[in-house]
Amino acid sequence: MKKILIILLTACCFSLSANEVKYDIIVAQDGSGNFTSVQEAINSVRGVMTERKTIFIKNGIYREKVVVETHSMNITLVGEDVEKTIISWGDHANMSLPGTDKPMGTFKTYTLLVQGHGFRAENLTIENNAEPLAQAVALHAEGDKAVFVNCRFLGNQDTIYAGNHLSRQYYKNCYIEGTTDFIFGSATVYFEHCSIYSKKNSYITAPSTPQENPFGFVFFQCKLTAAEGINKVYLGRPWRPYGASAFIECVLGSHILPAGWDNWRNADNEKTARFVEINNTGAGADISQRVTWSKQLDKSQEKNYSLEKVFTTIEDTWNPK
């Protein structure tokens, strides 16, 4: 009887906790919220804000091309269910810009564009469902101090563009899939406990980290898997000289090639690329045949890639947790 009472009291507390959650705005396609589209909700709070605004998005497939502009800061999007709350669009680089015969190009294909600082997303799926004909970005993030927790990013080539060399981004417990260079850009990004899924024999990361930035993409305790039959995947290649990627305590599947890294058909990149592995496991973690210009560090050097160090700049130290 005592055990049953404890269970009932616990359930009651969780129920009260859930009901007490307050959101500034609710988006629902059935009209039960404040708005029926995500963009309308974001527009309603546009402007530089010091106080965070939280937008709750009920389940549904929101077919929108969403923009969080530079002057829209400290916005949080919270989905009801990560697998059922989906923002989806389908532009790719070879499509024409609306009203013109000019190709769209990679950087206008986004489903979600985040320019404002302090953005946060939880329990959302961001999808670019274009046919795999060209580059097609699901998330284009360039604002500073962006956080993504328990989100899914679905696409093919160029799924996540982490742009802007001044941007810091944190991804935790996220699922990211793609074909070629599907995590690319110049930002400083920390991926923690994420699942990275390759859909094609190709390349995972394509960093364009500037020389003055000590870190590019850091993957900590992530899991790398692949579709059936995929067995020739590189951890990355430098999109620009000095591109940086590090995999630390990750589980690397058998789809990762023994060489590990590629120089993007330019031997000069081998002199500047900063590709690092520390204490990885799995069938793809054998470093005996890694390219000689990548770095294999021991566990004692992990502290140099801590979350705190990665996100410390001249201006401040940011702790996304």
Does the annotation mark 158 as catalytic?
yes
DSSP characters over 42-55: HHTT-S--SS-EEE
Residues 246 and 311 grouped into a single domain: yes
Strand order in the sheet with 152-154: 60-63, 85-89, 125-128, 152-154, 175-178, 195-198, 223-226, 251-252
Give the phi and the psi of residue 85 in degrees, each rounded to 5.
-110, 105
Does the annotation mark 91 as catalytic?
no
Residues 42 and 129 grouped into a single domain: yes
Residues 50 and 183 grouped into a single domain: no
Residues 150 and 184 grouped into a single domain: no
In a domain, 28, yes or no: yes
- Among the options 158, 262, 268, 286, which is catalytic? 158
Burial class (CB in 10 A: 0-12, 13-18, 19+), 321: exposed
The pLDDT tens digits of the residues spanning 248-301 come to: 999 999 999 999 999 999 999 999 999 999 999 999 999 999 999 999 999 999
In a domain, 216, yes or no: yes
Residues 197 and 288 grouped into a single domain: yes
* pLDDT < 70 stretches in the chain: 1-21
In a domain, 76, yes or no: yes
- Assess contact for 154 and 177: CB atoms under 8 A: yes
- Among the options 91, 144, 181, 262, which is catalytic? 181
Q: What is the pTM of this model?
A: 0.92
Residues 59 and 121 grouped into a single domain: yes
The pLDDT tens digits of the residues spanning 1-18 come to: 444 444 343 434 333 333
Q: Which domain holds residue 267?
A: 179-321
- Helix (H) / strand (E) element for 97: namely none
The structure tokens listed for 175 are 């699922």
Other residues' Cβ atoms within 10 Å of the Cβ of residue 226? 22
Question: Which CATH number belongs to the domain containing residue 27 in this structure?
Answer: 2.160.20.10
Residues 134 and 202 grouped into a single domain: no
In a domain, 12, yes or no: no
**Domain count across the chain:** 2
Which SS3 state, helix, strand or coil, does residue 15 take?
helix
